[in-house]
Homo-oligomer: A and B are copies of this chain.
Amino acid sequence: MHQPDHLKNAGLKSTLPRLKVLDLFENSEERHLSAEDVYKQLLTSGEDVGLATVYRVLTQFEQAGLLVRHHFEGGKSVFELKQGEHHDHIVCMQCGHVEEFYDAAIETRQEKVATELGFAIRDHSLHIYADCTRKKCPHRR
């Protein structure tokens, strides 16, 4: 789905590091990765990219619209492949697992509220912090 063309179209040379990072997002278990995550996974796979390059590439991909950046609690940035439509997130406070959801009613209401207050929405982020019920989750009773 993401061929080197995607990079070209975005005005970016198709270099090795860029292709590797893109590849990682397409084939990784976890959809949501931090710069550190990407860097470590590349090192583990024997790839040799610099951390600075990872940061640079992630930012470029964000600007090119290939990735979306999120700021979950904790401060560090997390990235995700941009595909399909907007959605919000529920983050498990125990295991860090991220689930996505979309609720039309919430979206509509936001528009309403903003309009009433005299604002023009450009973006928004809704993060629910909760306890999940996955087997892996250390919080499980």
Q: Which chain A residues have a beta carbon within 8 Å of chain B's beta carbons? A: 71, 73, 75, 77, 90, 92-93, 99, 101, 103, 105-106, 109-110, 112-114, 117-133
Contact = CB atoms under 8 A, between A and B. Distances in A.
27 contacts: A71-B73, A71-B75, A73-B125, A75-B77, A99-B117, A99-B119, A101-B117, A103-B109, A103-B112, A103-B113, A106-B106, A106-B113, A110-B128, A114-B128, A118-B133, A119-B128, A119-B130, A119-B131, A119-B133, A121-B128, A122-B129, A124-B126, A124-B127, A124-B129, A125-B126, A125-B127, A125-B129
A114 to B, nearest CB: 6
Contacts of A101: 113, 117
A80 to B, nearest CB: 16
Given A101-B117, A113-B128, A124-B128, 9 more contacts: A93-B123, A103-B112, A106-B106, A118-B132, A119-B131, A119-B133, A120-B130, A122-B131, A126-B127
A102 to B, nearest CB: 9
Nearest to A110: B128
Nearest to A118: B133
B130 A121 contact: yes
A34 to B, nearest CB: 13
A79 to B, nearest CB: 15
Nearest to A99: B117
